[in-house]
A and B are shown apart, each in its own frame.
Chain A
Amino acid sequence: MRDTLRIINELKEKGLIKDYAIGGAIAALRWVEPFFTRDLDIFIIPEKEVGEEELLLLSPIYEYLKNKGYNQWVGQWLIIEGVPVEFIPAEGLAKEALENAIEIEFDGVPTKIITPEYLIALFLKASRQKDKIKIQMLLEQAKIDMGKLEEILDRYNLSERFKIL
């Protein structure tokens, strides 16, 4: 995990991405008790956001990683230093979550992680059963700024969904 983050940091240092933050289950795990999960979701803002045909260009990232020897794919995951990683281009709510992510260290390696309020909103948007469980865990175990959460949910039209959760 330490080396995985070190490699992902390189993507930013080399100008292949503008920024990134850990999202998904691993971000939730930062704020609640440990639970089983399989992969590391990395939300990114690509350096070249949109190509000629309005395509998000992730190929420069994969090309760079391939040249470094990271070319083992398992489904949608790229294995980086023994950890299955999924790069997710951040748009809308996810982009705002990334921009408001906090800086932390993992074993001395700097990284960024999405805050609980934005995680709840993102899980609510996805609303699969496993997302609802994570929302419940976050509400019970993490310190949530309810004012901030309500403001985010309101702006992204998720308040009603939150009420019937």
Chain B
Amino acid sequence: MDEENIKILTKDNKIITLRELFDGKQKTHALQASLTFEEKIKILVELQKIAYSWGNKKNVIVWKL
């Protein structure tokens, strides 16, 4: 069986193929890339907070917006 046609049961009992899952990821990447610079910096600060707390990287400086 073609790996890309493997079916996955996802949220709301929707069935999609592995290919569709990857296509969806690509669309999300493209959507995120089209955010404004300000929005991206806000997300970066959230990532820094996660690295600091969850990742236990206490040397990460969480930026002031």
- Top 4 closest pairs, chain A to chain B, by CB: A82-B64, A33-B32, A34-B43, A141-B33
B60 at the interface (CB under 8 A from A): yes
Q: A1-B64, A38-B61, A79-B61 are in contact. Are A33 and B33 (CB under 8 A)?
A: yes
Q: Are B64 and A106 in touch, CB under 8 angstroms?
A: no
Q: A34-B32, A34-B35, A36-B51 are in contact. Are A29 and B61 (CB under 8 A)?
A: no
Q: A34-B44, A36-B47 are in contact. List 18 more A-B contacts (CB 8 A).
A: A1-B65, A30-B37, A32-B33, A33-B32, A33-B40, A34-B35, A34-B43, A35-B44, A36-B44, A36-B48, A74-B61, A77-B61, A79-B61, A82-B64, A83-B61, A140-B29, A141-B33, A142-B33
Give the residues in chain B near A76, CB-CB below 8 Å. none
Interface of A is mostly: mixed
Complex Cα gap A35–B29 (Å): 11
Interface of B is mostly: helix
Q: Are B40 and A3 in touch, CB under 8 angstroms?
A: no
Residue of A nearest to B39 (CB): A34
Interface residues on B, range: 10 to 19
Which listed residue, B29, B38, B64, touches A107 by the CB 8 Å rule? B38
Complex Cα gap A93–B11 (Å): 49
Q: Are B33 and A82 in touch, CB under 8 angstroms?
A: no
Q: Are B47 and A38 in touch, CB under 8 angstroms?
A: no
Q: How far is the CB of B12 from chain A (nearest CB, A)?
A: 25
A18 at the interface (CB under 8 A from B): no
Q: Give the B-binding residues of A (Cβ under 8 A).
A: 1-4, 26, 29-38, 74, 77, 79, 81-84, 104, 106-107, 140-142
Give the residues in chain B near A30, CB-CB below 8 Å. 37, 40
Give the residues in chain B near A79, CB-CB below 8 Å. 61
B30 at the interface (CB under 8 A from A): yes
Complex Cα gap A154–B30 (Å): 29
Complex Cα gap A162–B32 (Å): 26
**Contacts A/B (CB < 8 Å), 14 sampled:** A4-B64, A29-B40, A30-B37, A30-B40, A34-B32, A34-B44, A35-B47, A36-B44, A74-B61, A77-B61, A83-B63, A106-B37, A141-B30, A141-B33
